[in-house]
Amino acid sequence: MKINTKFFGEIEIEEEKIINFPNGIIGFEDLKRFVLIDHPGSDTIKWLQSVEEKDFALPVVDPLSFFPDYEPVINESDLKNLKLNSIEDGVVLCILTVPKNPESTTVNLKAPIVLNPLNRLGDQLIAENPDYQIKQPVKIFTESLKES
């Protein structure tokens, strides 16, 4: 199927690549269907693109790329809703916030995106770890990110 996107124009995606978010994303609960798109020129950054709203896309990263000790504690019932037995059975991504000055980029470690790739389910969940911040500074300088 074809979808329109803000950053990539019209793209072709496979139906089986669509991830369903029954609860939406925090603050955007009405958006339920997303696809992951690779960021050109980056192995680290992906975009969580809404299938329903072309202007809604979030840059996401594997937090372990920057924080190797990242181990979010997630409520067991939230994991069960995603049909996961443990966080290790899923894919964990964190949302980047990139201001005009990319040197001030932050990552949200407090509310990771957790995916069950087998069932194509996703949710933004709250990590119970008290030390994790919503705006954790991260050093992520790539020319391709600055061009976005």
Residue 71: burial class (beta carbons within 10 Å; 0-12, 13-18, 19+): middle
Give the closest residue to 120 by CA, choosing from 3, 21, 52: 21
User: Cα torsion at 96, 103, 134, 44 (round to 10°)?
Assistant: 30
What amino acid occupies position 102?
A: P
- Element at 79 (helix H, strand E): helix 76-81
Q: Is residue 58 part of a domain?
A: yes
Q: For residue 42, what pLDDT band results from cuts at 50, 70 and 90?
A: confident
Q: In this predicted model, what pLDDT tens digit does every residue of 75-131 receive, in sequence order? A: 999 999 999 999 999 999 999 998 998 889 999 999 999 999 999 999 999 999 999
Q: Is residue 148 part of a domain?
A: no
Output the average pLDDT for the chain: 92
Give me the CATH number covering residue 25.
2.30.290.10
The residue assigned the tokens 């964190």 is 94
DSSP for residue 64: G
The full DSSP string for 33-58 is EEEEEEPTT-SSEEEEEESS-TT-EE
The residue assigned the tokens 């979010």 is 72
Q: Is residue 122 part of a domain?
A: yes
The residue assigned the tokens 């920057």 is 66
Supply the pTM of this predicted model. 0.90
Q: What is the CA radius of gyration of the chain?
A: 15
Domain count, the chain: 1
Could you list the residue range(s) of the whole structural domain that residue 40 is in? 2-143
